[in-house]
């Protein structure tokens, strides 16, 4: 069994996260960013400035292999019980249950901080991510047709939602 550790991301982790994210920008439709980011842009993704929306690095044997975070879904108060979940994992660690553990980990945080709904916003062709979210009980709640264009292709986006049962609204 792999020993996976989740720790809060620090400024020292930004470069590792940037390398990982820029890899996905260049090679996949996992992100709809097209131009590789600069370090200060990655900092904006990782550090929202809001304690309810944290970022965690994923370590395997002390090595940075990815990150998981909660993001504001929309900046209006009525959405404060909802968060978007993001997970990026080094491709060498796909299919080993680490993404599953990362989602479970961030769900515990979300429950402890009175979130009601979690959303995964996924390119519709990203079957691996869709299966991961479905495995943890997320259901497809939206399908947007041809809303992104990357690699000269029009792409659909799906949103998967999970309601965190039994949690009090703050």
Dihedral sign (CA 152, 148, 38, 64) = negative
The pTM score is: 0.93
Alpha carbon distance 19, 4 (integer Å): 20
Domains along the sequence of the chain with CATH: 4-163 (3.40.630.30)
Give me the phi and psi of 20, to 5 degrees please: -65, -50
Task: Report yes or no: 47 and 94 within 8 Å, Cβ to Cβ.
Answer: no
* pLDDT tens digits along 98-148: 999 999 999 999 999 999 999 999 999 999 999 999 999 999 999 999 999
What is the Cα 94 distance to its own chain's centre?
Answer: 14
């Amino acid at each position: 069994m792999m020993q996976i550790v989740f720790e809060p991301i620090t400024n020292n982790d930004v470069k590792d996260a940037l390398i990982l994210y820029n890899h996905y920008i260049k090679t996949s439709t996992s992100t709809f960013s097209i131009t590789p980011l600069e370090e200060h842009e990655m900092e904006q993704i990782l550090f929202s400035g809001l304690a309810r929306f944290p970022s965690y690095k994923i370590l395997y044997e002390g090595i940075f292999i990815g990150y998981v975070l909660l993001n504001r879904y929309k900046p209006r108060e009525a959405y404060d019980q909802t968060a978007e979940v993001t997970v990026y994992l080094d491709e060498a660690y796909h299919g080993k249950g680490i993404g599953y553990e990362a989602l479970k980990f961030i769900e515990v945080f979300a429950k402890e901080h009175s979130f009601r709904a979690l959303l995964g916003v996924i390119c519709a062709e990203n079957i691996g991510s869709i299966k991961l979210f479905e495995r943890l009980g997320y259901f497809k709640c939206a399908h947007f047709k041809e809303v992104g264009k990357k690699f000269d292709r029009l792409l659909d986006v799906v949103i998967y939602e999970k309601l965190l049962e039994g949690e009090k609204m703050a």
